[in-house]
């Protein structure tokens, strides 16, 4: 399902009308005295000895140590509009990981955050929280910063920077004309298997996304985003990444074929797809892709 914004929160003002608070993704629960300690895996520690794995059985299903509840939903977010989305020549002079969001992209990211919050609040739960996985590219970190403005510190249970969900590698500084030729060759060869010179194919991305999926599954199984002693079913995972990486993630999760992948395009900048927990703990979504974009 794709969430839509049905109302604008009273506090939601255009970016140019208000000063934004500092939102540092690696310390997303505040700074100074307000900051909580975040471990290397992004888990927020309320004490110096607690670990999410502690006390959880290695044999899920035993009556004495029940398995942690699965997150209510997994939300996939594509970064807001970047400078590279509006001007491909940027790639010839700026490294892909360092490309910024545009002002429009920042607004898209913030609006996306409010969409997510509105959707979560409709559940009617009081103990809901969000946990973020984010690509280390500048445009995704900026997206997280603006998206995060919709959530108080107490609602953010943690964050992990995850290199395996980064953008497909198209090579280093990209020659514009050569890139156009390479993309034309990709259409002839096949979008999944064509490997860019000095870069990656979608099949290569599939391999690293497979590793990330296994990590995500382990995190879910041990309840890594649950504070020690809590077993809330109202945690929402938010993955902030890139168009192709998110398509490959869905392909890997739902075991789609290469042919099915070839028929997909990117979701729009600042848009989201929701994987909702259903019967038996399985995640489903409505295959509705909006504002498709074919940069990747």
How would you class 120 by CB atoms within 10 Å of its CB: exposed for 0-12, middle for 13-18, buried for 19 or more? Answer: buried
* Helix residue ranges, H only, 11-102: 83-86
Q: Is residue 46 part of a domain?
A: no
Domain that holds residue 152: 73-167+207-289
Integer Cα distance of 39 and 224 in angstroms: 11
Alpha helices (H) in the chain, listed in sequence order: 83-86, 103-121, 138-147, 176-189, 202-222, 243-254, 258-262
Q: What is the pLDDT of residues 2-38, one digit of tens each?
A: 443 334 444 444 444 444 444 443 333 333 333 233 3
What CATH number is given to the structural domain containing 120? Answer: 3.40.50.1240
93 located within any domain: yes
Query: Quick check: 137 and 167 in contact, CB under 8 A?
Result: yes
How far apart are alpha carbons 238 and 128 in whole angstroms? 13
Q: Is residue 189 part of a domain?
A: no
Gyration radius of the chain over CA positions? 19
CA dihedral defined by 90, 77, 163, 243, rounded to 10 degrees? -50
Task: Look at residue 153 and tell me if it is in a domain.
Answer: yes
Binding-site residues for substrate sit at 78-85, 139, 178
Q: Is 127 left (phi over 0), alpha (psi -120 to 50) or beta?
A: alpha
pLDDT of residue 143: 98
Do the beta carbons of residue 146 and residue 110 sit within 8 Å? yes
pLDDT for the residue numbered 124: 96
Total tally of structural domains belonging to the chain: 1
User: Could you tell me which residues are annotated as the binding site?
Assistant: 78-85, 139, 178
pLDDT of the chain, 296 residues: tens digit per residue: 444 333 444 444 444 444 444 444 333 333 333 323 333 334 333 333 333 333 334 444 444 567 889 999 999 999 999 999 999 899 999 999 999 999 999 999 999 999 999 999 999 999 999 999 999 999 999 999 999 999 999 999 999 999 999 999 998 888 888 888 998 999 999 999 999 998 999 999 999 999 999 999 999 999 888 877 788 999 999 999 999 999 999 999 999 999 999 999 999 999 999 999 988 889 997 554 433 333 33
Residue 118 lies in a domain: yes
pLDDT at 21: 43
- Whether residue 232 lies inside any domain: the answer is yes
Q: pTM of the predicted model, to two decimals?
A: 0.77
pLDDT at position 158: 93
Distance from chain centroid for Cα 206: 16
Please check whether residue 48 lies inside any domain of the structure. no
CA distance 112 to 270: 6
Q: Which are the catalytic amino acids?
A: 79, 167
- Cβ-contact 234, 127 below 8 angstroms: yes
Q: Is residue 49 included in any domain, yes or no?
A: no
């Amino acid at each position: 399902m794709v969430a839509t914004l049905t109302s604008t929160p009273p506090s939601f003002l255009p970016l140019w009308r208000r000063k934004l608070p500092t939102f540092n993704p690696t310390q997303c629960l505040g700074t100074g005295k307000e900051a909580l300690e975040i471990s290397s895996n992004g888990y927020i520690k309320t004490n110096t000895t607690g670990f999410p794995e502690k006390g959880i059985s290695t044999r899920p299903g035993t009556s004495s140590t029940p398995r942690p509840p699965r997150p209510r939903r997994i939300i996939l977010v594509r970064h807001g509009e970047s400078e590279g989305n509006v001007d491909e020549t940027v790639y010839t002079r700026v490294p892909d990981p360092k490309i910024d969001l545009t002002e429009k992209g920042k607004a898209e990211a913030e609006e996306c955050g409010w969409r997510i919050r509105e959707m979560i609040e409709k559940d009617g739960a009081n103990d809901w929280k969000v946990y973020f996985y984010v690509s280390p590219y500048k445009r995704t970190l900026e997206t997280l910063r603006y998206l995060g403005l919709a959530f108080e510190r107490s609602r953010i249970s943690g964050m992990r920077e995850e290199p395996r969900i980064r953008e497909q590698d198209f090579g280093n500084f990209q020659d514009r004309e050569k890139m156009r030729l390479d993309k034309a060759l990709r259409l002839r060869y096949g979008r999944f298997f064509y490997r860019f010179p000095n870069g990656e194919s979608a099949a290569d991305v599939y391999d690293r996304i497979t590793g990330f999926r296994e990590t995500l599954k382990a995190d879910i199984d041990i309840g890594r985003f649950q504070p020690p002693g809590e077993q809330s079913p109202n945690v929402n995972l938010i993955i902030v990444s890139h168009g192709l990486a998110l398509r490959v993630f869905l392909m890997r999760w739902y075991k789609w074929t290469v042919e099915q992948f070839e028929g997909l395009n990117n979701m729009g900048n600042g848009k989201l797809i929701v994987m909702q927990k259903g019967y038996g703990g399985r995640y489903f979504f409505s295959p509705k892709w909006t504002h498709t974009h074919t940069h990747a």
